[in-house]
Amino acid sequence: MFADDQASKALGIELVEAAEGHAVATMRVTETMVNGHDIAHGGYVFLLADTTFACACNSRGPVTVASGAEISFVAAGKLGDHLIATATERTRYGRNGIYDVTVHRETPDGPEVVAEFRGRSRTIQKASR
């Protein structure tokens, strides 16, 4: 799935790790991702978290999509930040799942959380093209 994700690739998102119910992806905040307040636009942070969520919830094979998601911005992303998103499956029930994604940056004092994301997934039948 990630190999065909042109939106994520265009932003430089890299999938670092993928396993059943788990994924890690990274993205560098570039000049085109900074808003009028000189901080990372929340939409880009959301996209990184959503991409990582998608990799985790599709890790078992069946086509799975988001049925909903929410994000809490904890700290502002900054130009040049190397953001790291870690997705973890919390539960699956029937065709549904719940996943948490933490987006952080590394600092000299250790990881600093930038955002917390919760995604809800739904496994679907793949539509024919």
Q: What is the pLDDT of residues 49-104, one digit of tens each?
A: 999 999 999 998 889 999 999 999 999 999 999 999 999 999 999 999 999 999 99
Q: What is the pLDDT of residues 30-57, one digit of tens each?
A: 999 999 999 999 999 999 999 999 999 9
Whether the pTM exceeds 0.85: the reply is yes
Residue 14 banded pLDDT, cuts 50, 70, 90:
very high
User: DSSP code of 32?
Assistant: G
- Using CA atoms, how far residue 128 sits from 67, 124, 125, in Å, is 20, 12, 9
